[in-house]
C-alpha cells in the first residue's frame, strides 16, 4: 500500500493540513532553539562554577526579582503561541464547519474492529437506523422499510470522497470509543457510543489514504484500518453509481456484485454490508 509514509510526516492532503504542519514546525524549531540556549548556559555554568581549590560555594542568589524576568518572558512567549497560533487554528478547524449543502455528508459507525460508512444517496436523506436491526450482515441496522434507506450506500472500511469538496462526517460508535484518524489530512476525532461527534475536512489531493483508529479499542485495534479514496468528481460519480446498482441487485435477487465482494473481503472477515432481502 502506498500511503506515502517515510521520514517525517506523510504528504499533506487536506485544506487545513498546512496550518497544522506550520504550527508543528514552529513548536519544534522553538523547542530546539530553547534546548540549545539552555544547553549552552548549563555547560557554561558547569565550567565557570566548577569546584576549584581556594574557592568556597556562595549560596547568595541574584534576588527574587531578577529570576522573575525569564519566567515572565517564557509566559509571554507561550501566551503568544496559544493566542496567535493555537486558538486561531483550532477555531478554523473545529468551529467553522463548511455549510452542509456544499459538502458530502457521511455517517460513520465505528465498531470493533471496522469502519462502517453510510451515504445518503441521490435523495440526500439518510435512511433510518435501528439498533434492533443490527446483525452481522446489517452492521449499522439500516431499516429497509424506510423509503429514505432505499438509495443509501453502505460500505465497510472504504470511504470515497471527491477532491476539493468538503466532507462532513457524523460519527458514533457501536461498542467502545474509537478515534478516526487520517494522518495525511492531519485530523483526528473520537467516536463515542451514545454521542454524535463531527469531523470535517476538504481533501486536496487525489489518492488513497489510510484511516487508522487512534484509540486503543480492544484486541483487534491494529486491524481497524480503512481507506479514504479521494476521487475526481467523475470517478466518484462512477463509483457511487456502481454501488447503487449493486445495492438494487442485492435487494432484488440477493446477488453480490464484485464491488461488494471487495468491500467484504476488505473488512477482514467481518460480514458484508448487503442488506437482508
Ligand atoms: Cu477502534
Lowest mean pLDDT among 144-158, 170-184, 200-214: 144-158
How close are the terminal C-alpha atoms of the chain, in Å? Answer: 35
Q: Is the pLDDT of residue 97 over 50?
A: yes
Q: Give distance in angstroms: CA of 212 to centre of ligand 1.
A: 8
What is the whole-number distance in angstroms between the Cα of residue 185 and the centre of ligand 1? 18
Confidence band of 64 (pLDDT split at 50, 70, 90): confident
Output the CA 79–ligand 1 centroid distance in Å: 35
Task: Tell me, in angstroms, the distance from the centre of ligand 1 to residue 153's CA.
Answer: 22
R_g of the chain, CA atoms, integer Å: 26
- The answer, yes or no, to whether the previous bond of 113 is cis (omega within 30 of 0) is yes
Q: Which of 10-19, 39-48, 58-67 has the lowest mean pLDDT?
A: 58-67
Cα(78) to ligand 1 centroid in Å equals 34
Q: Flag whether pLDDT at 198 surpasses 70.
A: yes
Cα(269) to ligand 1 centroid in Å equals 16
pLDDT confidence band for 117 (50 / 70 / 90): very high
Number of neighbouring beta carbons within 10 Å of residue 242: 15
90 CA distance to ligand 1 centroid (A)? 24
Question: Given this model, what pLDDT does residue 2 score?
Answer: 61
Q: Dihedral of CA 265/175/161/124: which sign? A: positive
Model confidence, pTM = 0.79
From ligand 1's centre to the CA of 199, what distance in Å? 16
pLDDT at residue 148, rounded to an integer? 87
Cα→Cα distances 55→49, 50, 51, 61, 263, Å: 10, 10, 7, 17, 78
> How is residue 233 written as a grid cell?
468528481
* Mean pLDDT confidence for 33-46: 94
74-88, 129-143, 188-202: least confidently modelled range:
129-143
- pLDDT for the residue 249: 58
Question: Percent of the chain, pLDDT > 90?
Answer: 55
| 182 Cα to the center of ligand 1, angstroms | 13
Whole-angstrom distance, CA of residue 129 vs CA of residue 131:
7
Amino acid at each position: 500500500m502506498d500511503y506515502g509514509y517515510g521520514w517525517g510526516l506523510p504528504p499533506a492532503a487536506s485544506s487545513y493540513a498546512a496550518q497544522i504542519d506550520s504550527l508543528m514546525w514552529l513548536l519544534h524549531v522553538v523547542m530546539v532553539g530553547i534546548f540549545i540556549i539552555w544547553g549552552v548556559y548549563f555547560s557554561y555554568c558547569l565550567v565557570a562554577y566548577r569546584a576549584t581549590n581556594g574557592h568556597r560555594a556562595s549560596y547568595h542568589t541574584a534576588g527574587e526579582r531578577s529570576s522573575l524576568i525569564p519566567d515572565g518572558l517564557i509566559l509571554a512567549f507561550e501566551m503568544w503561541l496559544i493566542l496567535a497560533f493555537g486558538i486561531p487554528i483550532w477555531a478554523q478547524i473545529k468551529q467553522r464547519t463548511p455549510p452542509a449543502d456544499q459538502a458530502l455528508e457521511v455517517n460513520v459507525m465505528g465498531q470493533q474492529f471496522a469502519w462502517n460508512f453510510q451515504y445518503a444517496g441521490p435523495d440526500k436523506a439518510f435512511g433510518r437506523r435501528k439498533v434492533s436491526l443490527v446483525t452481522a450482515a446489517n452492521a449499522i441496522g439500516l431499516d429497509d422499510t424506510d423509503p429514505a434507506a432505499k438509495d443509501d450506500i453502505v460500505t465497510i472500511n472504504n470511504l470515497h470522497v471527491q477532491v476539493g469538496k468538503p466532507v462532513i462526517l457524523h460519527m458514533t460508535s457501536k461498542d467502545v470509543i474509537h478515534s478516526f484518524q487520517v494522518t495525511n489530512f492531519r485530523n483526528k476525532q473520537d467516536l463515542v457510543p451514545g454521542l454524535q461527534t463531527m469531523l470535517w475536512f476538504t481533501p486536496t489531493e487525489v489518492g488513497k489514504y489510510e484511516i487508522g483508529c487512534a484509540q486503543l479499542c480492544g484486541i483487534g485495534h491494529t486491524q481497524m484500518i480503512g481507506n479514504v479514496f479521494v476521487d475526481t468528481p467523475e470517478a466518484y460519480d462512477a463509483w457511487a453509481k456502481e454501488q447503487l446498482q449493486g445495492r438494487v441487485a442485492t435487494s432484488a435477487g440477493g446477488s453480490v456484485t464484485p464491488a461488494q465482494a471487495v468491500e467484504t473481503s476488505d473488512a477482514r472477515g467481518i460480514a458484508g454490508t448487503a442488506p437482508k432481502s
